[in-house]
Chains A and B, each alone.
Chain A
Amino acid sequence: MKLSELQSINEIRLVNTIKDDKDIQDVYIGDLLSFVMANGKEESIWLTVQRHINVIAVAELNDFSAIIFVENVEPDEETLLKANELHIPLFVSSLDAFALCKRLYQEGL
């Protein structure tokens, strides 16, 4: 699946300016950064409620394709700016992680 295919899910919106159409190979859900670092796989999309700038370093080190903030969590301004700088697409979803996973599954992920 490609990031551009997320557009067909109404409950997801891009919140920064990075439109790179990266591959999505997997999904990782978590808010404790040590677990995300240890277990996240490259080209995953990461579902989290962690809005602080530190998520960007974690996404970058893991080569994640994008971060989706679930349950309408809005990332901090610094997080948005850093993600633009490092070319990491950020999305916000109104769904919780499980509901979003069901939608992603329906879309073929």
Chain B
Amino acid sequence: MKKVYTVLKDNYEDAGQASRDIKMTLKMLEINPKVLKRISIACYEAEINLVIHSNGGTITFELDDDGIVKLSFDDTGPGIENIELAMTPGYSTASKEAREFGFGAGMGLDNMKNCASTFDIQSSKDGTHLRMTFQ
């Protein structure tokens, strides 16, 4: 199974919609609730990052025959200059507006890494590409 979602920059109103849809899909397939919780946290954090930090992009959800869930987040920039720094809990470049809405705790990438079975992030000026798998 494969689903692709488009995420727009600064679209706070719909932020979390893709994560919710993915959660509903997996819930109907009766996936283990503990795994589902990890997927929900990681997916939401990554989706929010596309909204508040990137120029927009896509989320690709894939479920393979072995029950492994793969989530890919691909945006069109501006990229992360120093990934190690970005991964540090508490580090955030979130705008004042985003912080007012409760984002920008600087815990997102750390939360994702803790939730995912595998976590891979690549970034350049042209975009950030994040892949996570869950089992």
Residues in A lying within 8 Å of B, measured CB to CB: 31-35, 37-38, 42, 50, 52-58, 60-62, 78
Contact = CB atoms under 8 A, between A and B. Distances in A.
**Main SS at interface, chain A:** helix
11 contacts: A31-B102, A32-B104, A34-B103, A34-B111, A37-B44, A37-B45, A57-B15, A57-B44, A58-B44, A60-B20, A78-B13
Interface string B42-63: 0011001000000000000000
Given A52-B100, A56-B16, A57-B16, 20 more contacts: A32-B102, A33-B102, A33-B103, A34-B45, A34-B107, A37-B44, A37-B45, A37-B111, A38-B107, A42-B37, A50-B102, A53-B13, A54-B12, A54-B15, A54-B101, A57-B17, A57-B44, A60-B20, A61-B40, A62-B40
Contacts, number: 65
Q: Which 6 A-B pairs have the closest CB atoms?
A: A57-B16, A34-B107, A34-B105, A32-B105, A33-B102, A61-B40
A54 B102 CA distance: 8
A33 B105 contact: yes
Nearest to A48: B102
Nearest to B17: A57
A85 B48 CA distance: 21
- Among B20, B105, B107, the one with the most A-chain Cβ atoms within 10 Å of its Cβ is B105
- Among B41, B100, B102, B114, the one with the most A-chain Cβ atoms within 10 Å of its Cβ is B102
Nearest to A57: B16
A37 B102 contact: no
B128 interface: no
B129 interface: no
Contacts of B19: 57, 61
B39 to A, nearest CB: 10
Nearest to B114: A38
A36 to B, nearest CB: 8
Nearest to A55: B102
Contacts of A60: 16, 20, 23
A63 to B, nearest CB: 9
A61 B111 contact: no
